[in-house]
Structures are given as C-alpha cells and as structure tokens.
Amino acid sequence: MLSHAQHRPWVAPFPWVSLFWGERGFCFLQRHLFPFRLAKAKQQVSYPVGHVTDSRGPWCCPQGSSIFPFEVFNIVFYLGSVRLRGGKDEFEGTVQVYLNGIWGIICSNNWDDNDASVICRQLELGERGTAKHMPFAELGLIPVYWSDVRCHGDEENILLCEKDIWHGGTCPQRMAAAVMCSFSQASVFIPIRLADGSNAYEGRVEVYHAGQWGTICDDQWDDADAEVVCRQLGLGGIAKAWNQAYFGEGSGPVLLDEVRCTGNELSIEQCPKSSWQEHNCGHKEDAGVSCIPLTDGAVRLTGGKGSHEGRLEVHYGGQWGTVCDDGWTELNTQVVCRQMGFKYGKHALEKYFEESSGPIWLDDVSCSGKELNILQCSKREWGKHDCSHQEDVRIICHPHNDGHRLLLGLPIRLMDGENKKEGRVEIFINGQWGTICDDGWSDKDAAVVCRQLGYKGPARARTMAYFGEGKGPIHVDNVKCTGNERSLADCIKQDIGTHNCRHSEDAGVICDYLGKKSSGNSNKDSLASVCGLRLLHRRQKRIIGGKNSLRGGWPWQVALRLKSSHGDGRLLCGATLISSCWVLTAAHCFKRYGNNTRNYIVRVGDYHTLVPEEYEEEIGLQQIVMHKEYRPESSDYDIALVRLQGPEEQCARFSTHVLPACLPLRRERPQKTAPNCYITGWGDTGKAYSRTLQQAAIPLLPKRVCEERYKRRFTGRMLCAGNLQEQKHVDSCQGDSGGPLMCERPGESWVVYGVTSWGYGCGVKDSPGVYTKVSSFVPWIKSVTKL
C-alpha cells in the first residue's frame, strides 16, 4: 500500500510517463490513466488488493481500475516541462523545470519579464508574465539547472531561450526565478467626439467614461493618435494632431494621458495609454485633431526621410500627382507648409528624393504668401504643363514641434500569420481590405510596414502568398520603399488597383524578426537527447481536409526531391527524420527513378517550397536501403531507409525546426496507446499541390474495416486511416507518399507509426489511406541504422 507520507516517485508501467506526489487524482486501468475530480461515493464500495483509499473514503473510478486519490499523484511530462510552485494560486509561483527525470529551479540572475512571459505562455496562463524572485531557503533541497536565461519574449517554450547551465558559483542573494502570470484584458469600446471646431472635421478630442465626457492630455499626442481618432470617427483624409488646447479648454475631467497609438489602430481603445484619470495635466494641455478631407487640392510630401519633407504631391480627381517647379518661389513653399500645419519651410534644390511615375497636375504656381491653401494660388489648368518629373517641386517643412507629423489614412493589417507580428499584408482602400502584389517586394518594404505597425525590430519580406492567398481585391503592385518612409502609402508608385498579379503572389512580412538563434551547449544537448519533441505547434492551423501547419510544427518532416542542376528539383515524396543521419520513407518512392543516390536530394526544415528559409538544409544521399521483401508490383513491405551524407550522427543539424521523430515499440498498437494522429505533407489539396506544409488530423481505423475494403491486398504489416464520412474526407495523396503518419503518446512525445503507402484515389468515400505499419519493421530499422 502507498502512504501519503512517502515522497518518492512512482513510475508507471509505461516508460514515457512519470508520476509524482502532487495535486490530482487518477484512475489506472489497463495501462491508461484517467484524471478524476468526482465526489465521494455515497456508499462503501470494495476494491481489489492494492487499491488505495484514505481517510476521506473511497473514490469513484471505472470498474476494475486502480485508484489514486487527490494529492497522491501528478503527471509529469517530457523534457522541458515547467510548473509553478509555492504561489497563492495557479498563476504565480517559483518556476520549476523538468530535466533528467527530476524537477529543478532556475537561478534568478538577469531574470526579467520576457523570461516570465515565455513561462506563462508555455503553461497557457496568459500572454503577460511578471518576473519575481524567491529565496532558495524556502525551496528545500532541489537542484539548480540554469542561470542567466535570455528569452526574447516570444518563444513558445523555455527550451528555445538562450541560457547558461548552472555550474555553481554566484547566484544573487540565492534567489530562484519565479513568475506571476496574467491575461491581457479585452478592450472596451470608448465613445469619442470632436468639440468646438469650426467644422465637423476638427475639434478638441473628448471621450466618454463612467457617465461623463472628458478630455485627453496632449503628452505624447501626435499625428499617429490623430490618425486613429479620425478613423474611429469615420473621417478619411489627412489627420493632424493639435496640442495646448488649440480648440479651447474643455470643462470636464481630464480622462486620459500618454496616448501612444502607432497610427494603424482602428479605434483609440486599442492604443497604449494611461489608466483612467491618471495624469499630470490641466485643460491647457487638451488634445485636438483635424481630419482634413481628401479632396481636390489636398497636399502631401513623399519620398523623403519623413512626412515633413519630400516631393510635393497634390490630390486631384482621386489621384495623387506632382507639381512642376517652373516659377516656384519660397512664398509658394510657405503656403504649402502652412496648409499642412507646419510653421514654415524651404525649397529643397537637392535631387535626392525619388522621382514620381504619376501625373504632373500643376505648373506655373504663383502664391502671394497670404493664401490658406494651394488652390487659392494662381496656376495653370489641372494637368497642363511642359515639364518632366525631373522638375518636380521638392520642399522641406519645419514643424512647430516633433509631434506634428502627417500620415495618409491607409490602415494596414497582417493576416493569417502565426502571431500578431507576421502575416499577409492587407491595406484598407475605398472601404475594402485588399492585398499587395509581391512584384519587387523586399525587406525595405517590410521595414516600412512593420514600422507603421509599431514594431521596431528587424523586418523580413515574404512572397508567393507565404501566409496564404487573400480573398479581396489586389489593391497595390510594384511598391517601392527606400526603407525610411513612415507610411506604406508613401511607397505606392502606381495607380490603386493596377496590377498584373494573382493572389498566389500576395506579399507578407515578419516583424521583429529574431532569426536563427545561436544555441548554447545546453540547448544543443537538450535537443539532441530527445525524439518526438514538438516545440513550435501552438496554433492548429491542406492535404485534403487538412490545414496549414505551423513553421517548425513538424520538425521531423523531410522532403525527398529529384536532384536538379538548376536547384529547383521537384518534390517526389515525403519522409521522416528518425536521427541526424537516417530518414524513413516508402520503397515505392524509388520505383520510377531507381536507387541511384545521385538522383535525389533531401531537404530538412522546409515549410514553403518556393521560399528559402534559414532552417532549411539540403543534404545529399549516401545510401538507399529498401526492404529486401519489397516488390514493385506489390504494396507490401513498402518501406525504405535513407542514409544522409555526413559524419556519424552529424548529418542534419538539429534546431527547433529540425528534430527526429520517435520510433514505435515493436508490435505497439497505436489505436490503443496513441489516439491523437496526424498526417503531414505538401501533397494534393484537392485543387493543386500545396506550397506550404499541410497537416490533417486523422483517425486510425480498425483492422477489420481495412480488410473489408481492400480484401487480401491489406496485410498485417499495414495500417489504414481516414474519415469514412463523405463530408469529412481527410487523405494523404501523391505528393505525400513516403511521408509520416504521426501519433502522440501520452506525455507529448510523437511517434511515427505509419509511412504513407497507397490507397484508392484521393479522399474518396469509403477508401481510407493505407500506411506501412512501422512497428512491424522496428527490428529491421534498428539492424540497418544501428540506432
């Protein structure tokens, strides 16, 4: 009998799960573990010898199961699992990490909120984490594993962070790393209005809260904030911020301060700002805006280092065009700068601003200096000129203060990325979201997009509908940014809606791009010591009936490609990495082109077949070993091993995106031990072959179902899987031959139970896919690979 006083671990009869004293109750039945939270039985029930009861009485579990009550056991999962201990609730506590079968702690030196946020996200306890510190003395005898953890803050798992292995030495004040987790609260709609302006397009900004209207302090108030206010009010055109109670002082409370919009938000509640009525302001600092309608005669400056300088453009007939410099004077410059809200300006004679490709709208402009806008000046008819774009007017305006910047009212957003910092770029024009064609799309364009969205880190462009195809119009093509523009609108060089593209060329970006992290020794050791570990699979994002996978979500996925002197050899088969130097695939993949290793190349770390990625690596083949019983005219024994070129166990470089899958136990039956199964590949999606790696959940089917459908062709060395209902077809087709059927064991280790082999058509009703059963070939695999 087990006693509550004991504190030693009890290891389950299956090796991938360890049980420790903790906070859960479990029923153990036929090698399965069931967590329970049931109330006590109302009457005494009998238990077989060896079952556990305690002073609180018996517990309800399935008949015939062993019973372990609350506070007896807690499941501990795979290498790198984390938990919190010693806090007031489940959202806080000292961080403990599971390595080498033992829980340990982290020294708190340099422990910060970025590290804490990774822990909270890994535990699904919220997106935000606050770093805390806990004295060693309160933790008892527990090993210290790491020190100086250095997370960027967006990693999915603490294993992905750089860190130092603890070798003793100094740990400040002998403090362990701890966290407090919290969920970001959803924003509440904030009513807003403009007051005391001369028209409906301008005024003092007032917001409504707790039953009253109040003002906003102008600390950090700029045109980015004005852009959002104008957009929320449905007022297009050019937004300008006004400070120091320009539209008069308000009479209610000052409700907000330190508003810091990026300019891309759709409403002010989405912007960072102070708490309600937290400020150090008086009404002399009330913020205001003007939302200048984008009508004929509106002006802007483009192509410079900011919106205060550049090529002068004027809006006419729905299109921006330039102004010829014939007869241009400094008085003209003053009128234009004043029209845009700047104090004064000067004519820029330098030709360092990029030339326009649009129309030239105005020529022979002559202002007296008293005009309020360029339309009041003398000029030729719209479009009448004798100039080239080398004569475009270029000016520099000087603002009252740094807060006066102009933004064109074209909001942008990122769609279908794996997080909010990446995705397909979409731009809002004429009341409709649309995409951007990737012709000429570069990292400079991505830098402007990310800057407009408020991200300050490195930016990377993605092409070829990397984040999937959009559904709206294609608004823009041939974007040309220098990288210094504040708004993507400053980079648009041709008419809206003019393009020669399809949605397969939609442009995307990745903001705050971290790049391939250089792993310390501790990271390399931890990755090399495990199999079946998915570090990057948070969101379930085609294969028929399937969906896009996450980058790095299936790190053992391999592409077997035909070798080409042009480097564009086509995809032939999928495969599975089972060690650094060995790949598992189907024998029929070599049926057409033979087993000459020079005909093939293996690509690991691939996601989008046409977009090179830093984790990708192409490796030559050293040896192809097909099962000796395989016959080309048969589907039995359809399994092969590929030895990659390279030193022993140093062929493919392991990373978060490249890791081996686990092999099953001999004669292991996944239908009973691992019901959560997926197929992956770049195969037939029902319309075409996919560019991005696909995944699809798929149920394993009983042997009798497969035998009834395929008769004697189905042998004991095969599995079949798929949805039999017509509306739920999931299948793995041509391009996925040889690819993996992966199932998750309890404990989150992933095992390759099947190799995609054959079937009747793709996604055909009552015709599930057939897979070589890997567990039948484990002795052969180990004899060939020596693993």
Domain borders along the chain are: 81-182, 192-293, 298-398, 413-510, 547-644, 677-777
Residue-level pLDDT at 673? 60
- Fold agreement (192-293, 298-398): yes
Q: Which of 385, 404, 588, 657 is catalytic?
A: 588
Whole-angstrom distance, CA of residue 461 vs CA of residue 342: 34
Q: Is 731 exposed, middle or buried (0-12, 13-18, 19+ CB in 10 A)?
A: buried
What is the second-level CATH architecture of the domain 81-182? Roll (3.10)
Q: Identify the bridge partners of residue 656 per DSSP, sorted by sequence position.
A: none
Q: Decide if pLDDT at 582 tops 90.
A: yes
Whole-angstrom distance, CA of residue 493 vs CA of residue 778: 61
Summary mean pLDDT of the chain: 78
If one looks up domain 547-644 in CATH, what number appears? Answer: 2.40.10.10
Answer yes or no: 113 catalytic: no
Answer yes or no: 638 catalytic: yes
Which of the 8 DSSP states describes residue 340?
A: T
Answer yes or no: 736 catalytic: no
Handedness of CA 431, 434, 439, 442 (dihedral sign): positive
Does domain 298-398 correspond to CATH entry 3.20.20.70? no
Under 8 Å between Cβ of 551 and 759: no
Residue 322: phi, psi to the nearest 5?
-100, 175
Q: Identify the bridge partners of residue 16 per DSSP, sorted by sequence position.
A: none
Residue-level pLDDT at 515? 66
Residues with Cβ within 8 Å of residue 655, at least 6 apart in sequence: 516, 519, 527, 555, 605, 615
Q: Which of 638, 684, 731, 736 is catalytic?
A: 638
Q: 317 in the Ramachandran plot: left (φ > 0), alpha (ψ -120 to 50) or beta?
A: left
Distance of CA 422 to the CA centre of its chain: 6
Whole-angstrom distance, CA of residue 568 vs CA of residue 83: 46
The domain 677-777 is classified under which CATH number: 3.40.50.1780, 3.40.50.10490, 3.40.50.10420, 2.40.10.10?
A: 2.40.10.10
Average pLDDT over residues 562-581: 83
* More reliable by pLDDT, 425 or 541: 425
Q: Which of 737, 749, 767, 776 is catalytic?
A: 737
Enumerate the H helices of 51-96 as residue ranges: none
Structure tokens at 582: 């060995």
pLDDT tens readout for residues 645-691: 999 888 998 888 899 999 998 877 776 666 788 999 887 555 567 78
pLDDT tens readout for residues 47-72: 333 333 333 333 334 443 333 333 33
Residue-level pLDDT at 697? 85
Q: Please state, for a pLDDT cut of 70, what percent of the chain lies above it.
A: 77
Q: How far is CA 119 from CA 128, 187, 636, 665, in A?
A: 9, 24, 47, 33
State which amino acid sits at residue 677: C
Residue-level pLDDT at 645? 95
If one looks up domain 413-510 in CATH, what number appears? Answer: 3.10.250.10
Residue tagged 């399937």 (tokens) = 546
Beta strands in 579-684 (DSSP E): 582-585, 600-604, 617-619, 621-626, 640-644, 676-681
Q: Decide if pLDDT at 761 tops 70.
A: no
Under 8 Å between Cβ of 297 and 313: no
The angle at the Cα of 706, spanning 703 to 709, to the nearest 5 degrees, equals 150
Q: Are strands 676-681 and 694-697 parallel, antiparallel or unpaired?
A: antiparallel
Under 8 Å between Cβ of 162 and 519: yes
Which of 186-200, 277-291, 423-437, 771-785 is modeled with the greatest confidence?
A: 771-785
pLDDT tens readout for residues 144-203: 888 889 988 777 788 888 888 887 766 767 888 999 987 654 444 678 999 998 888 889
* Domain 192-293 class, CATH top level: alpha beta
